[in-house]
Structure 1
Amino acid sequence: MDNKTLITDLGLLHLFVKVVAHGSLSGAARELNISLPLAIRRLRQLETLLGVRLLQRTTRRQSLTEEGQLLYQHALQILDELASVEQRLSQSREAIVGPLRITAPVELGRRYIAPLLADFCTAHPGLNIQLQLTDTVLDLIESGMDVAIRYGALQDSSFISRPLAPNHRILCAAPDYLRRRGTPTHPGELSRHDCLLIGQQFQADWRFEGDAPVTVRITATLAANDGEVVHGWALAGYGIARKSIWDVFEDLASGRLVQILPRYPIPATPLHAVYPHSRHLAPRIRALLDYLGPHLSNLYKARRDSARTPRP
């Protein structure tokens, strides 16, 4: 036999094992629900592939050759191992176990996502969760992330986006700033105010909806790529910030920040979970999404009511 020969059709091995178990080709054919002529052809195919005779057959009985006995022992081991692997894979399709790598915006992640993930991990002790907080939009494939929690709609069509909870952005400032500089009553007045930007640039377009949509070009007095830094500047009275309602719920409720221009809503950017496209989504990812959605929605409703802010 050519030592490079490979049996690539496991069905041939399966048939051979059944023939030995039944003691006849006809018995194996009946169990496998194939015709006897097909069973004979398949067994001959296996013998031709291996270049050896596996069975001694007469009209009354069959017996294994020495080569057939060797193949039979190894075929049983191979098929048993494959059955074990298949069983483990089947269990893994249902089990909520394994690593989960998640990225989220810094403030949202610290305030809300991190506590929820800790509770989720406690409920599923087979999980290992890693949370990476950044206001930079990571490439999920390059960074090895399983799920990204992001504001707004999906940008890359190669990924899947699942809505998790409402979110809208507002303009806000500290009462001290408004006492010193006054409260704008129209978006056009923002050019005369100190504005705080999140990002790498000093300029940005802030768009407002309503009866007469308007876009205003903002030039920042202070800018940072970290949303929490901008949040701190707003609390300290350095200017007007555009923030997610998730970040300022408590500040609005306590009066540390005041909403500005509530009659000019900013386009909503609901929270989404983004993950790479996959036909077979791992149970741990599906369970995470099913968990985060309702919990974040309930948190949003509770915080919205406590802050007494308008609905988006």
Structure 2
Amino acid sequence: MLIENLTDITIFIRVVATGSLSAAARELDLSLAVVSKRLARLEERLGVRLANRTTRRFSLTDEGVEFHERCVRIVADLEEAQDLVASRRRTATGLLRVTATAAFARRHIAPRLPRFHAQYPDVRVHVLVTDTVLDLVDAGIDVAIRQAALPDSTLMVRRLAPNYRVPCAAPSYLAQHGEPETPQDLLRHHCIVLGDPPMATWRFQCREADADPIAVEIRPLIQTNDGEVGLAAALAGSGIALKSVWDIGDDLAAGRLKGLLPKYRSPAPAIQAVYPAGRHTAAKLRAFLDFLSAELKADPCWAVASEPTIIGTAARDKASGGYQGVLREY
């Protein structure tokens, strides 16, 4: 049976992505009754039950899972067709769905949106903040901004800016405990370890040519799975943290933190944009990535960055300026 109204399919996809009828209703600016009625009408047309739902729970049936997978592909193809027409007009328009971690979104995306919209007033931006690695196709996301090495993937990757980690501490801590001169000196200091599981092995590369990498097993005074908590502890003078330069650039510039071990560098995966294959044809995505890449590379926090060694194992996609496949850190 031909589904004549694509709105019902779009509502169905958003209900699955958000996990509930009420959340989809809020996102689509519709009433809960309308969303429920449209979903029921879709099931009636298909002659199958797509989901089991109560006020607290929403779960797809087997038929719902199969139908959702196909609907996502269909809608993505339609959006790409629309974007292709728009790109030929050289006009970036439409809704762009972006996901990033909370810290990166606050520091490097939200403050830049006014400048982006000044250049591209017809692009609406939906920023989904989460530390969870989402399935971009299933979630309807156009692009994810990530700072981690990627597993093998069919996703496209565009490198936006270099990155490296900096051991840092507040002046109040250094006044009491002094500064480490070598990575091994960290073993005598109060250290703040981040991550779940914790990133307790801190790796450094001496700036001198042909020096061997150094790995230090940190015995933390403070351990947390939240980067913002670790940063707050460092700012309060609790100890030394190893933080990405994009996260602490403002604190270093303002003197709230001081970078340590200047003779050493701690490499980290680059800032990357990850998106489904085929989406690079969208004018709105190209516009956003070109804008964000230029903004990040001009940011003072990267001014003294030396490029970390990042090797892409797959061929360059010349059309999109990205890489397809896995990136590994060495």
| Shorter-chain TM-score tier | 0.5 to 0.7
Query: Which residue of structure 1 lines up, in the alignment, with residue 272 of structure 2?
Result: 272
Q: Deviations over 1:131-154 (max 9, x none)?
A: 123334333234332111112544
Q: Does 1:134 align with 2:133?
A: no
Pick closer, same or farther for the CA change 1:196–1:287 going to 2, 3 Å: same
Query: Which residue of structure 2 lines up, in the alignment, with residue 292 of structure 1?
Result: 292
Q: Does 1:217 align with 2:217?
A: yes
Distance 1:142 1:269 in 2: 25
Distance 2:122 2:165 in 1: 37
Pick closer, same or farther for the CA change 1:201–1:180 going to 2, 3 Å: farther
Query: Which residue of structure 2 lines up, in the alignment, with residue 230 of structure 1?
Result: 230
TM value normalised by structure 2: 0.60
Q: 1:171 aligns with which of 167, 181, 187?
A: 167
Q: 2:85 aligns with which of 84, 91, 94?
A: 91
- 1:194 alignment partner AA: H
Q: CA deviation at 1:162?
A: 0.6
Pick closer, same or farther for the CA change 1:164–1:310 going to 2, 3 Å: closer
Identical residues among aligned pairs (%): 44
TM value normalised by structure 1: 0.63
Distance 1:249 1:109 in 2: 15
Does the residue aligned with 1:219 lie in a helix, a strand or coil?
coil
Cα root mean square deviation, aligned: 2.5
Residues 163 and 305, structure 2, Cα contact 8 Å, conserved in 1: no
Q: 2:100 aligns with which of 100, 104, 110?
A: 104
Residues 195 and 240, structure 1, Cα contact 8 Å, conserved in 2: yes
Pick closer, same or farther for the CA change 1:181–1:128 going to 2, 3 Å: same
Residues 164 and 292, structure 1, Cα contact 8 Å, conserved in 2: yes
Q: Deviations over 1:220-279 (max 9, x none)?
A: 332333322211111001111111112222222222111111212111432111111127
Distance 1:280 1:271 in 2: 18
Distance 1:282 1:152 in 2: 25
Name stretches of at least 5 consecutive residues in structure 1 with no aligned partner: 1-86
Pick closer, same or farther for the CA change 1:285–1:191 going to 2, 3 Å: same
> Rg: which structure is higher?
1
Distance 1:275 1:265 in 2: 30
Residues 239-248 or 178-187, more deviating = 178-187
Residues 101 and 145, structure 1, Cα contact 8 Å, conserved in 2: yes
Residues 153 and 161, structure 1, Cα contact 8 Å, conserved in 2: no
Distance 1:273 1:147 in 2: 6
Distance 2:194 2:233 in 1: 11
Q: CA deviation at 1:295?
A: 1.6
Pick closer, same or farther for the CA change 1:192–1:135 going to 2, 3 Å: farther
Query: Which residue of structure 1 lines up, in the alignment, with residue 190 of structure 2?
Result: 194
Query: Which residue of structure 1 lines up, in the alignment, with residue 116 of structure 2?
Result: 120
